[in-house]
């Protein structure tokens, strides 16, 4: 019995030893395969999609960089042209490829620099250049407010175009607004009924809060606005909201009451448009101002002829509405009594200068009591004459 158990014990030891040997053998083979794979790893092949036969690329062409036999570790698309837009991009999930995510500046030359690594940790570098096709048709852009300005609580972010934009969605996708504190708002598209100028505007849900910092980032260089008409530059602007100044014009009471940050600072006797030439109803925003403006009947299409140098002129609409001093009407029992202007809001010389000195771009002027219709959305900054829900519907994006 003792001898039988010893033999059986010996068989178990041999079996266990063989199993252990087999296990160790498997582990050794796996490590050897890895070493072999690393030793056999060849250099990574990097390819960059740049079109065919070295021809210039369209500004909205997508650049794609791929690695075969390894993974990409770096991709940069840059230009020595100071005005060329930087090209951003994104990786696929395993970093085998990279593709650009924005348009490029027409006429610029770009360089692709890429690095990839194989299984052995060896790097392969790629460098190539390409040129972007110049724009045969171009569109220009202007932004309001410009950088570092302090503006009133009604000022929208305005991006105006030299030519009509047919592909509004393509443009709007490249526009972004950031605010501090966070402010809800929306883009909308409007056209000035007099000049035909088309613009995208971003307005908050309600008037801006004082002290808000606003930054526009418009990645427009290379964007096709329609029919091959390209934009040629990116635009940025950062501005601040100043005093919340709201002036309420009551054409029935013949007064303009001015509020600053919610506090009434003055009530001025005024004279609005007479029945033949009534003042616009609705909310207007200060566009600019000048200490003296020459105004003529021809410039606003009025039959009653006049040609006057008008002092302390605060501009409210592109159709020619101003709030200004009208010293020629002083001493006639007009201000605070009757509406006698050609559509503007007139005041005494003293009151006109008082209002002028306070007014800044973006201040709000709300007019009620006129027989005329509400001022058109595109006639100056008439964005506030729509409810926020109505305004959101003017966005080109769902």
What is the domain-level CATH number for residue 194?
2.60.40.3710
Report pLDDT digits (tens) over 6-30.
Answer: 433 434 333 343 333 333 333 334 4
pLDDT score recorded for residue 255: 98
Asked if residue 180 and residue 263 are part of one domain, the reply reads no
39 in any annotated domain = no
Q: Which two tokens stand for residue 342?
A: 């050609």
Give the pLDDT confidence score for residue 259 in this predicted structure: 98
Within a domain: residue 201? yes
Q: What is the per-residue pLDDT across 142-184, written as a single tens digit (0 to 9) for each?
A: 999 999 999 999 999 999 999 999 999 999 999 999 999 999 9
Model confidence pLDDT, tens digit, residues 104-132? 999 999 999 999 999 999 999 999 999 99
- The predicted model scores a pTM of 0.85
Query: Based on the domain organization, do 118 and 162 belong to the same domain?
Result: no
Question: Is residue 331 a part of any domain in this protein?
Answer: yes
CATH number at residue 94: 2.60.40.3780
Mean pLDDT of the chain: 90
Q: What CATH number does residue 364 fall under?
A: 2.40.440.10
Q: Which of 89, 108, 131 is the C-terminal boundary of a domain?
A: 131
> Does residue 377 sit in the same domain as residue 249?
yes
One domain for residues 72 and 127: yes
Judge if 276 and 162 occupy the same domain.
Answer: no
pLDDT digits (tens, 9 = 90+) for 343-386: 999 999 999 999 999 999 999 999 999 999 999 999 999 999 99
- Considering the domain architecture, whether residues 291 and 367 belong to the same structural domain is answered as yes
Q: Mean pLDDT, to the nearest integer, of 55-79?
A: 95
Residues 172, 263 within the same domain: no
Which domain does 72 fall in, by range? 45-131
**Measured distance CA(65)–CA(45) in Å, rounded:** 11
CA distances to 194, 206, 223, 313, 349 from 376, rounded to whole Å, are 10, 19, 29, 21, 29
Whether 160 and 258 share a structural domain = no
Same domain assignment for residues 221 and 266: no
197 CB-near residues (< 8 Å, 6+ apart): 160, 161, 191
- Say how far apart CA 187 and CA 264 lie, in whole Å: 32
- What's the pLDDT at 54? 75
Task: Give me the pLDDT at residue 116, please.
Answer: 97
How many separate domains does the chain show?
A: 3
- Note whether 166 and 127 are same-domain residues: no
In a domain, 112, yes or no: yes
Query: Same structural domain for residues 328 and 365?
Result: yes
Q: How far apart are CA 312 and CA 290, in angstroms?
A: 6
> Mean of the pLDDT values across residues 222-232?
96
Per the domain annotation, does 72 fall within a domain?
yes
373 and 292 housed in the same domain = yes
């Amino acid at each position: 019995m003792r001898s039988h158990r010893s033999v059986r014990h010996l068989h178990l030891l041999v079996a266990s030893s063989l199993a252990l040997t087999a296990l160790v053998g498997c582990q050794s083979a796996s490590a050897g395969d890895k070493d072999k794979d690393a030793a056999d790893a060849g250099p990574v092949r990097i390819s960059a999609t740049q079109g065919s036969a070295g021809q210039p690329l369209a500004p909205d062409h997508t650049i794609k960089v791929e690695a075969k036999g390894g993974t990409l570790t770096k991709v940069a698309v840059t230009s020595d042209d100071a005005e060329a837009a930087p090209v951003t991009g994104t990786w696929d999930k395993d970093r085998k490829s990279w593709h650009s995510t924005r348009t490029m500046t027409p006429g610029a030359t770009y360089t692709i620099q890429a690095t990839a690594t194989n299984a052995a940790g060896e790097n392969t570098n790629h460098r190539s250049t390409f040129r972007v096709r110049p724009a045969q048709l171009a569109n220009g852009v202007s932004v309001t407010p410009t950088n570092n300005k302090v503006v009133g609580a009604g000022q929208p972010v305005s991006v105006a175009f030299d030519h009509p934009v047919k592909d509004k969605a393509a443009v709007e996708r490249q526009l972004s607004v950031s605010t501090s504190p966070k402010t809800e708002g929306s883009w909308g598209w409007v056209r000035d009924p007099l000049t035909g100028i088309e613009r995208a505007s971003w307005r908050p849900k309600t008037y801006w809060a004082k002290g808000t910092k606003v930054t526009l980032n418009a990645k427009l260089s290379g964007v096709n606005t329609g029919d091959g008409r390209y934009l040629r530059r990116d635009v940025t602007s950062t501005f601040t909201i100043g005093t919340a100044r709201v002036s309420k014009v009551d054409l029935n009471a013949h007064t303009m009451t001015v509020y600053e940050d919610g506090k009434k600072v003055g009530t001025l006797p005024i004279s609005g448009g007479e029945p033949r030439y009534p003042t616009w109803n609705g909310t207007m925003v200060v566009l600019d101002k000048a200490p003296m403006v020459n105004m003529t009947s021809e410039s606003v299409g009025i039959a009653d002829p006049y040609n006057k140098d008008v002092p302390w002129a605060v501009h409210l609409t592109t159709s020619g509405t101003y709030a200004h001093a009208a010293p020629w009407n002083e001493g006639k029992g007009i201000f605070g009594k009757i509406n006698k202007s050609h559509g503007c809001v007139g005041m005494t010389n003293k009151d006109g200068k008082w209002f002028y000195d306070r007014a800044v771009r973006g201040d709000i002027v709300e007019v009620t009591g006129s027989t005329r219709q509400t001022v058109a959305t595109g006639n100056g900054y008439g964005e506030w004459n729509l409810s926020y829900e109505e305004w959101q519907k003017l966005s080109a994006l769902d």
